[in-house]
Amino acid sequence: MNSYNIAVIGGDGTGPEVVREAIKVLDAAARKFSIRLDYTHFDFGGDRYLRTREVLPDSAVAELRQFPAILLGAIGHPDVKPGILEKGILLRLRFELEQYINLRPVKLYDQRFCPLRDKGPQDIDFVVVRENNEGLYTGVGGFVFKGTPNEVAVQESVNTRRGIERCLRFAFDLARKRRGGAPWPGLKSDDVAAGRKAQLTLCGKTNVLTYAFDLWERAFHQIGQKNYPDIKRDYAHVDATTMWFVKNPEWFDVIVTDNLFGDIITDLGAMIQGGMGIAAGGNINPTGTSMFEPIGGSAPKYTGLGVINPLAAICAGQMMLDFLGETEAAGAIEKAVIRTVVEKIKSLAAGKMGYSTSQVGDLVAAAL
Ligand code: IPM
Ligand code: MN
């Protein structure tokens, strides 16, 4: 029997509530597919910080490195100044565990949840590969003359050839897999049957960011030409990308982009797939410890009410199993989510699902 030790960080706000449901569904899948999952819970987050003034103990990263995967609820607390927990926990783990890919599938399961007129599940099914260790997120920069009328703030985007190349290769590989290679991640048999073309879109801003995206673009075409001639290369500026998400989302297959652009376009992506209630992502280190999370925040105003939608966390659990190589179990969770969403759920929004948080977990577990 395959067994996995999973680190769990419920985190802030509604994080622990949604993670509980994800574990409920993971356990149901584990029973069905004879997998063993053991969980170790960590209490990192705003409450611990307010109690101890410690964001992440120094031993934490080394400890988490021992796990193949981390399941994360949410980070962000209304009583803690923005940036402290996000940078101190989420970004620190992404960086120190070298989770250099942030993988965000954008897939619509039911037309009812799409805010775009005339778009359905056949139109919205793509994946964003967001670079997750560099760009404007590294914290390079600083102030001069802070607090005076002459103050200057500089925040620089870091783009390394190595960081860009490993991200591009991951994205090209994914585009290839979606068409028909090994079934991870995100391969959809319908795509294969439909003969859907493997296409990788580089989302950038080559018309203004003429250093950073010049490097991205050159690496993109060099690697693509040499190693991935079977993948169609496509380019879109980031502003145009947001327009296409709304106008022609069916254009996209796999999109690769830098850290900040990826952050921004995936919130829009989440909206066209039905909202934060369903959007999941994985912070991937292909050879190390990866971390899976619902991409929405900690939703403090809903905390403890049992109204938050756990489907995004459940889908994060599904991505985790997929990544661990348990593709069959992961596929079964996705099917159970689709069935639940199509047959039962009234709305994906908090408080409007027609069921409580734990009932939605029960429904998915039962559908399994
Ligand atoms: C996300 C979040 C984070 C990010 C924040 C909380 C730092 O918005 O995961 O997309 O910007 O990456
Ligand atoms: Mn974000």
Contacts 24+ apart (CB under 8 A), 27-33: 27/365, 28/364, 28/365, 28/368, 29/321, 29/326, 29/329, 29/330, 29/332, 29/333, 29/368, 30/329, 32/329, 32/332, 32/368, 33/326, 33/328, 33/329, 33/332
283-326 per-position pLDDT tens digit? 999 999 999 999 999 999 999 999 999 999 999 999 999 999 99
- Ligand 1 site-directed mutation target among 12, 70, 84, 86, most atoms within 8 Å of CB: 86
- Ligand 1 site-directed mutation target among 55, 80, 90, most atoms within 8 Å of CB: 90
Provide the domain count of the chain: 2
Mean pLDDT for the stretch of residues 14-36: 98
Q: What is the percent of the chain with per-residue pLDDT over 90, rounded to a whole number?
A: 94
Grouping H, G, I as helix, E, B as strand and the rest as coil, residue 107 is strand
- Is residue 365 scored above 90 in pLDDT? yes
- CA 77 to ligand 2 centroid distance, Å: 15
Ligand 1 atom nearest to CA at 90? 7
Q: Whose CA is nearest to atom 5 of ligand 1?
A: 86
Whether residue 106 lies inside any domain: the answer is no
pLDDT at position 185: 37
Asked if residue 143 and residue 240 are part of one domain, the reply reads: yes
60-119 per-position pLDDT tens digit? 999 999 999 999 999 999 999 999 999 999 999 999 999 999 999 999 999 999 999 999
Asked if residue 242 and residue 124 are part of one domain, the reply reads: yes
Ligand 1 atom nearest to CA at 94? 12
With a Cβ cut-off of 6 Å, ligand 1 is lined by 86, 90, 263, 295
Q: Whose CA is nearest to atom 12 of ligand 1?
A: 263
Cite the beta strand spans of 58-212 per DSSP E.
Answer: 69-74, 101-107, 125-131, 141-144, 152-155, 199-204
Instruction: Give the end of a domain, one of 241, 272, 303.
Output: 272
112-168 per-position pLDDT tens digit? 999 999 999 999 999 999 999 999 999 999 999 999 999 999 999 999 999 999 999
Asked if residue 280 and residue 268 are part of one domain, the reply reads: no
The ligand that comes nearest to the alpha carbon of residue 99 is: 1
- CA 264 to ligand 2 centroid distance, Å: 6
Q: Whose CA is nearest to atom 11 of ligand 1?
A: 263
Asked if residue 343 and residue 260 are part of one domain, the reply reads: no
End-to-end CA distance of the chain: 20
Asked if residue 146 and residue 64 are part of one domain, the reply reads: no
Alpha helices in the chain (DSSP H): 15-32, 46-52, 58-64, 84-85, 92-96, 161-179, 189-193, 212-227, 238-247, 259-272, 311-324, 327-343, 357-367
pLDDT at position 198: 87
Ligand 1 atom nearest to CA at 263? 10
Asked if residue 311 and residue 205 are part of one domain, the reply reads: no
Strand partners, 131: 101
Q: How far is CA 234 from the centre of its chain?
A: 22
- CA 263 to ligand 1 centroid distance, Å: 6
pLDDT at position 252: 95
List, as one string, the DSSP characters of 273-304: TT-TTT-EEEEE-TTS-EEEEESS---GGGTT
Asked if residue 237 and residue 121 are part of one domain, the reply reads: yes
Whether residue 256 lies inside any domain: the answer is yes
Residue with tokens 């001639």: 229
Whether residue 329 lies inside any domain: the answer is yes
The ligand that comes nearest to the alpha carbon of residue 131 is: 1
Mean pLDDT of the chain: 95
Q: Whose CA is nearest to atom 6 of ligand 1?
A: 86
Asked if residue 175 and residue 140 are part of one domain, the reply reads: yes
Whether residue 177 lies inside any domain: the answer is yes
Ligand 1 atom nearest to CA at 293? 9
Asked if residue 94 and residue 148 are part of one domain, the reply reads: no
The ligand that comes nearest to the alpha carbon of residue 94 is: 1
Asked if residue 170 and residue 81 are part of one domain, the reply reads: no
Residue-number span of the structural domain to which 304 is assigned: 1-99+276-368
Ligand 1 atom nearest to CA at 281? 9
- Is residue 30 scored above 90 in pLDDT? yes
Asked if residue 355 and residue 246 are part of one domain, the reply reads: no
- Ligand 1 site-directed mutation target among 263, 264, 265, 295, most atoms within 8 Å of CB: 263
Q: Whose CA is nearest to atom 4 of ligand 1?
A: 263
172-213 per-position pLDDT tens digit? 999 999 876 433 334 444 554 455 568 999 999 999 999 999
The CATH number of residue 330's host domain is: 3.40.718.10
pLDDT at position 193: 47
Instruction: Give the end of a domain, one of 208, 243, 272.
Output: 272
Whether residue 105 lies inside any domain: the answer is no
- CA 230 to ligand 2 centroid distance, Å: 32
Whether residue 110 lies inside any domain: the answer is no
Asked if residue 166 and residue 47 are part of one domain, the reply reads: no
With a CB cutoff of 8 Å and minimum separation 6, the contacts of 351 are: 302, 305, 307
Mean pLDDT for the stretch of residues 16-45: 98
Instruction: Give the end of a domain, one of 212, 242, 272.
Output: 272
Whether residue 289 lies inside any domain: the answer is yes
Strand partners, 107: 125
Ligand 1 atom nearest to CA at 76? 6
Whether residue 181 lies inside any domain: the answer is yes
